[in-house]
Structure 1
Amino acid sequence: MSWLEETMVGFDTETTGVSTDHDRIVTAAVITRTGGDVSTRTWLIDPGVEIPASATAVHGITTEQARAEGKQPADALEEIASVLASALTAGFPVVAFNAQFDLSLLESELARHGLASLASRIPGGVVAPVVDPLVLDRHLDRYRKGKRKLIDLCTIYAVPVVADDLHAADADVLATLELVQALGAAHPAMRESHLTDLHTQQIEAHRAWATSFSAFLKSKGVTDDLPRTAWPVAVAETRSEPAELGADSLF
């Protein structure tokens, strides 16, 4: 049986901004799916800072709503980390679109509130296995032109979504879980790969992409906010200049 037919745990966040080092989680969703059985947990969090209007325009949560209805961040983060750690310890893959962002931000938030890191909660201290359809698509169809946002990939792989529903964490997770299935159908070898191997292959695929894209940005004079080569977690302490690496093939 392929891992695609077994339990998967989807994860997504909506935030105050795009910095994994400095921004905060506003909403989060964890959806566990085994076949047709689906269980959903969602969190609305008071991030403790103002939510910029630009962020509210994306996910719809205002500072006032978060303060009035949101859970205290330390409590919510502890719950989120516990759920994800339990899944990973059981060997269930955490599925996230652009996983590096959500998992790195989660680790930064846990550190900010003096909580145990996600990695430290897992035997062996490794956040794995993780499945990221962005990393997979970017590698498996690397020469395709165009954007690779969640809505774009759902369109390409014929995953039905309501565009207005996206940017709600739970809707994004459901779309991502469906997208992984569609990717597996389009790339049969992905279905047959062992999760441990798939995780390792994504590490290398992301590193190759980040190295190449960083070199491109530097050639255009861009030196700030270059892609971080570590995946699925890249916190500030582990940030380094991308090393040269060839684009190894998955599978």
Structure 2
Amino acid sequence: MNTWVLIDTETDGLYAPIHAIEVAAQKFDGLCPVGDPIQVFINHGIEIPFEATEVHGYTTEFIEENGLSPIDAYARLRAYIGNNPVVSHYLQFDWTRVLMPELMRLRIPPIGRPGFCTWLLSRRALPEHLTHKLDHLRDYYDLACTRPHSALGDVEATTDLLQRIIFPRLTSINFDSIKKVYEFATMRPLLRCKCLIQDLDFETESRRLAETRREEKKRQEVVKRVHENIHSIPTLINEHELIEEEHDIIFMGRKFLFTGKMAFGLRAQAQKEVQLRGGLIPTSKHLSNDIDYLILGEDKEAGWTRLLHGGKLTSAFLNKFQHPSSKLHIVREEAFRSALLK
């Protein structure tokens, strides 16, 4: 597999029958591109839907003027690709859903054979990214590209990604041939790839991941039981130590919400004290993502500990339990009263 061809397609849509209206390709020898890429426009004599034109910019008129007949276009591609492995950033789409069905529909013998997918390779070689869409990688690495969302532009960007980012990274861990790159592109589990790239111990990371999954499963079970009103929310808040015991409350510009009857007195008076110090009181009585402080009223008979399944209390618990680093602070009335005296 020393010689292989990177391709990309632009089409008239995403649903069968899919017609390729542009195909671009770049030949490689090992890890290096060879010669110039090829670009072919294909005129199937069909209307290009507006939704497709919105993506790639090609109109029916443009394809009629610049496109070759399918027979001539694929003859040119066959001369360039031969029987070499075909690689693309979404091989499942470009090869399986576009080229192979189209060649069968046109009764043209197969061109090339399936190679590896550079999207799958990117997932393994670039584990620090949450997404490996070409748009994201092109912007992040400032990849060479004459025209985004064109087959030629995407081939250029993928070539630059491979040459400048992925191949050097893989070469540094001894995956220094196209045969080894193919092996890496299909390696499982992905955690092993991450460990190779980031020089981590696989066994240690496997144990850590397993523990994380166990903890997440426990969290999901707690959340499920909360939604089913099985747990007492005050008990859960105490058990998970979500109340901040030592926190310097900042009033200026912060939003305060109260729940439970206050021993301090009327809630309206507490809200007035907040506003006098530059704090904000939301118009809604529901806990939203912009709330900074939830103050727990501590009246003996009707304080927060009596709100077994209160709306604000439940929302606050789920907020802190699922997102420990959220901006929300859950504070007892006693701490709030102390802050008023400072």
| TM-score, structure 1 as length reference | 0.62
Q: Which amino acid aligns with 1:150?
A: L
C-alpha displacement of 1:75: 2.3
Q: Deviations over 1:60-89 (max 9, x none)?
A: 211122123311112212332442234x1x
Correspondence for 1:139 among 106, 124, 127:
124
The residue correspondences of 1:32-111 to structure 2 (distance < 5 A) are 32=27, 38-86=35-83, 88=84, 94-104=86-96, 105-111=98-104
Q: Deviations over 1:188-241 (max 9, x none)?
A: 36762553454355356599xxxxxxxxxxxxxxxxxxxxxxxxxxxxxxxxxx
- From the CA coordinates, give the structure whose radius of gyration is larger: 2
Q: Deviations over 1:76-108 (max 9, x none)?
A: 12332442234x1xxxx5442112211121111
Q: Which amino acid aligns with 2:64?
A: R
RMSD value over aligned CA atoms?
3.2
The answer as to whether partners of 2:124 and 2:184 remain within 8 angstroms in 1 is no
Q: Deviations over 1:156-183 (max 9, x none)?
A: 4x24335x72112112111111111211
The separation in 2 between residues aligned to 1:98 and 1:83, in whole angstroms, is 20
C-alpha displacement of 1:7: 5.8
The answer as to whether partners of 1:95 and 1:177 remain within 8 angstroms in 2 is no
| TM-score, structure 2 as length reference | 0.47
Q: How many residues align?
A: 187
1:78 match: secondary structure: helix
Correspondence for 2:148 among 166, 180, 183:
166
1:11 match: secondary structure: strand
> Is 1:179 aligned to 2:161, yes or no?
yes
The answer as to whether partners of 2:26 and 2:33 remain within 8 angstroms in 1 is no
Gaps of 5+ in 2: 191-342
Question: Aligned residue for 2:6?
Answer: 10
The answer as to whether partners of 2:43 and 2:70 remain within 8 angstroms in 1 is yes
C-alpha displacement of 1:12: 1.1
Correspondence for 1:149 among 133, 141, 145:
133
Q: Which amino acid aligns with 2:111?
A: L
33 and 201 in structure 1: CA distance in 2 versus 1, 3 angstrom threshold: closer
The separation in 2 between residues aligned to 1:166 and 1:205, in whole angstroms, is 31
The answer as to whether partners of 2:175 and 2:181 remain within 8 angstroms in 1 is no
The answer as to whether partners of 2:7 and 2:24 remain within 8 angstroms in 1 is yes
8 and 113 in structure 1: CA distance in 2 versus 1, 3 angstrom threshold: closer
The percent of aligned pairs where both chains have the same amino acid is 26
38 and 118 in structure 1: CA distance in 2 versus 1, 3 angstrom threshold: closer
Gaps of 5+ in 1: 120-126, 208-251
User: Relative contact order: is structure 1 or structure 2 higher (C-alpha 8 Å, sep ≥ 6)?
Assistant: 1
